[in-house]
Amino acid sequence: MRTCIACLLLLVITTTQAQDKPAYKLFTREGKGIDYTKMIKALAKADIVLVGELHDNSLDHWLELQVAKDLYALRNDLVLGFEMFEADDQLVLDEYLTGVIEERHLLNEAKVWENYKTDYKPLIEFAKEKKLPAIATNPPRRYANLVYRKGIEALQTLPEDAKKWIAPLPIEIDLTLPGYKSMGAAAMGGHGGVPANDNMAKSQAVKDATMAYFILKNRKGLLVHYHGAYHSKNFEGIVWYLKKAAPDVKIVTIHSVEQASIDDLENENRGAADFIIAIPKDMTKTY
């Protein structure tokens, strides 16, 4: 009898230790688990899908490619948009997608991120294969830096040709939004020789406004946009600008978080987006 009990206990312990270890888990904004297929069906009904990623997370980038493939199977009018390409690189990006130039030209002449080959190349190659538009939506970083150093008014001094790479001026900024407010508070001590002010939040807002502007300008069918999670967290940032410019457009957001355990969505992560991807904290990083 004791032997049987010991064997049973060993079986229970072994089974517990051998449980599957999921690489991620999907949740609704309320924190309820949802399966991948249901999420894809919901995304396919949207006009714009905003994907807030963790830039260095390998699982995030793999999922982004899977979502693009599965949405394309349902919506062949797919358009992909990227924070990772600055708006003034659109010509070079288009030339690569249409086969006019080789990849080496794209890498040398566009301001691609250092993790392009591991993290964003698969999406660009998918767009190229399926002949999908890929849109560069981020303002040139030199202009975001100009706002950080000299304030939002400095954008008015740009030549007219330069202004076409940012959202139309003047750009409305609501510094009472929690995301910008917290960013402003964090910058109160000054940074990089810049006096303490709200220019950091304004610089972020210029990015959000510009990305929203190019999303709407290039929206044909279903546009899926990839950006850092902060840019659409809690339905602020890009979402705020999209809703102001096009209140009837149907937007669905995805937000990624890292947790020690992904069994349940932590309270602090609830409400951040329509769908939330919980990923183990020890997931492999790409840089």
Q: What is the pLDDT along the chain (287 residues), one digit of tens a residue?
A: 555 554 544 444 444 455 788 999 999 999 999 999 999 999 999 999 999 999 999 999 999 999 999 999 999 999 999 999 999 999 999 999 999 999 999 999 999 999 999 999 999 999 999 999 999 999 999 999 999 999 999 999 999 999 999 999 999 999 999 999 998 766 655 555 444 589 999 999 999 999 999 999 999 899 999 999 999 999 999 999 999 999 999 999 999 999 999 999 999 999 999 999 999 999 999 99
Burial class (CB in 10 A: 0-12, 13-18, 19+), 65: middle
Element (H or E) spanning 137, and its range? strand 134-138
Q: Are 22 and 262 in contact (CB under 8 A)?
A: yes
Q: Where are the domains of the chain?
A: 23-280
Length of the chain: 287
Range 23-280 has CATH code 3.40.50.11550: yes
Tens of pLDDT, residue by residue over 16-55, are 455 788 999 999 999 999 999 999 999 999 999 999 999 9
Q: What is the DSSP letter of 120?
A: I
Q: What is the largest CA-CA distance in the chain?
A: 88
Residue closest to 256 by CA, chosen among 219, 228, 218: 228
Task: Please give the pLDDT value at position 196.
Answer: 57
Alpha carbon 187 to its chain centroid, in Å, reads 23
Kindly give, in sequence order, each residue whose CB lies less than 8 Å from that of residue 118, ignoring residues fewer than 6 positions away: 58, 61, 286, 287
Task: Please give the pLDDT value at position 265.
Answer: 98
- Terminal CA-CA length for the chain: 55
Q: What is the DSSP letter of 33?
A: B
Residue closest to 223 by CA, chosen among 140, 132, 121, 119: 132
Task: Please give the pLDDT value at position 197.
Answer: 80
> Is 210 in a helix, a strand, or coil?
helix
Task: Please give the pLDDT value at position 9.
Answer: 45
